[in-house]
Amino acid sequence: MDRFKGFLVEKGAGGQQITWSDLSTADLMVGDVTVRVSHTTLNYKDALALTGKAPIVRRFPLIPGIDFAGTVIESAHAGFVAGDDVILNGWGVGETHHGGYAQVARVTGDWLVKRPDAFTRADTMAIGTAGYTAMLCVLALEAHAIAPGSGPVLVTGASGGVGSVAVSVLAKLGHHVIAATGRPEEEAFLKSLGATEILDRKELAGPARPLGKERWIGAVDVAGSHTLANVLSMTRYGGCVAATGLAQGMDLPGSVAPFILRGITLAGVDSVMAPIARRRTAWERLARDLDTARLATLTATRPLADVTALAPDLLAGKVRGRIVLEVP
């Protein structure tokens, strides 16, 4: 496929523009594996990039899309051969390196993970960076001895991409899951994923007390700001909070009290530059611990052409769960 099509983000005097463009493999960046992209997805970061709401794209012109799944066309990397099904999440793809919103991608093979047999290519993008990040959060909680039966686990932004997968995985593992959401109409959906309780996010949105009532032993937070401060203030003695988002803000207006009086841990979770061994572990655990039937209930499939229209809806909180984008 010397010629192919893809979305291209360009920046001119009038600001950022996105076009569906005719491209050549000569337009691709340096890499030792070329992939025919079959599926991609829409994450919060992708929506910020497409709308220009944050400076996610840091070089122009650029093909956006931080995730993709597809089949290797050519490889000079020892770990991959033509015909291998592969997944990519992060590594600056869609930010400084051409990403997955095109029919073809070229990347370094050190960034790729082979598709687990338990999943189709579409499944892997139903999971995407959001679901893979959720699994990294679960691993962070487990590393701090947060086990089923040790107490409730809170998930903020529960109806979103990271949150919905976190709820599903934690519930399957046997945790009592408290799902925090600002969309009460999603209660039935969240309980179908395994949530035991639903919490109105308004309870977490305001300024936090230094210490609140102890309510959960662990948490996955995607919001930051006052929400994270409140989550920390109500975490039980010895608990752990995995923080991986900034939907409410990048600030953390809280207190040291939960750390020095209750001995809790704040575990930061980064998915973009996570080492390849940790990525493989996360995908192995997803293959084991994520119910594919539940995954289907939280996933919608759309053509890649719809992505620019979907991005503002995702930022406005109007998108439930995950979106798989089929590449023509």
* Segment 27-76, tens digit of pLDDT: 999 999 999 999 999 998 999 999 999 889 999 999 999 999 999 999 99
Closest by Cα among 157, 215, 222 to 186: 157
For residues 83 and 138, membership in a common domain is answered with no
d(CA 203, CA 230): 9
For residues 192 and 165, membership in a common domain is answered with yes
257 — pLDDT class (breaks 50, 70, 90)? very high
Task: Say which CATH number the domain at 78 has.
Answer: 3.90.180.10
- Residue 16 near residue 9, CB atoms below 8 Å: yes
d(CA 155, CA 318): 18
Whether 157 is in a domain gets the answer yes
Whether 213 is in a domain gets the answer yes
Task: Say which CATH number the domain at 173 has.
Answer: 3.40.50.720
Residue 264, token pair as written in the block: 């809790």
For residues 73 and 184, membership in a common domain is answered with no
317 — pLDDT class (breaks 50, 70, 90)? confident
Whether 278 is in a domain gets the answer no
For residues 140 and 208, membership in a common domain is answered with yes
Number of domains in the chain: 2
Closest by Cα among 46, 55, 51, 4 to 28: 4
For residues 138 and 83, membership in a common domain is answered with no
- Residue 235 near residue 214, CB atoms below 8 Å: yes
d(CA 143, CA 163): 19
Whether 275 is in a domain gets the answer no
pLDDT tens, position by position, 114-126: 999 999 999 999 9
Whether 260 is in a domain gets the answer yes
For residues 133 and 256, membership in a common domain is answered with yes
- Residue 302 near residue 323, CB atoms below 8 Å: yes
pLDDT tens, position by position, 196-228: 999 999 999 999 999 999 999 999 999 999 999
What backbone phi and psi angles, to 5 degrees, belong to 273? -115, 20
- Residue 180 near residue 201, CB atoms below 8 Å: yes
For residues 317 and 193, membership in a common domain is answered with no
The range of the structural domain enclosing residue 107 comes to 3-115+298-326
Strands (E), the chain: 3-12, 15-24, 33-41, 67-75, 85-89, 104-107, 112-114, 153-155, 177-181, 197-200, 216-221, 235-243, 265-268, 299-303, 322-326
- Number of residues in the chain: 328
User: Which of 268, 287, 315 lies at the terminal end of a domain, its last residue?
Assistant: 268
d(CA 106, CA 99): 9
For residues 140 and 264, membership in a common domain is answered with yes
For residues 76 and 158, membership in a common domain is answered with no
For residues 154 and 230, membership in a common domain is answered with yes
For residues 184 and 77, membership in a common domain is answered with no
1 — pLDDT class (breaks 50, 70, 90)? low
Whether 139 is in a domain gets the answer yes
Percent of the chain with pLDDT over 70: 100
| Number of other residues whose CB lies within 10 A of the CB of residue 161 | 29
Sign for the pseudo-dihedral over CA of 219, 220, 222, 225? positive
**Helical segments of the chain, H only:** 44-51, 121-143, 161-173, 187-192, 202-205, 225-233, 257-261, 276-289, 292-297, 307-315
Closest by Cα among 297, 311, 318 to 94: 311
Whether 292 is in a domain gets the answer no
For residues 206 and 319, membership in a common domain is answered with no
User: Which of 268, 289, 316 lies at the terminal end of a domain, its last residue?
Assistant: 268
Closest by Cα among 37, 52, 76 to 312: 52
d(CA 35, CA 75): 9
Task: Provide the CA 14 distance to its chain's centre, in angstroms.
Answer: 31
Whether 123 is in a domain gets the answer no
Helix axes 161-173, 121-143, angle to 10 degrees: 70
Region 167-190: what's the mean pLDDT? 95
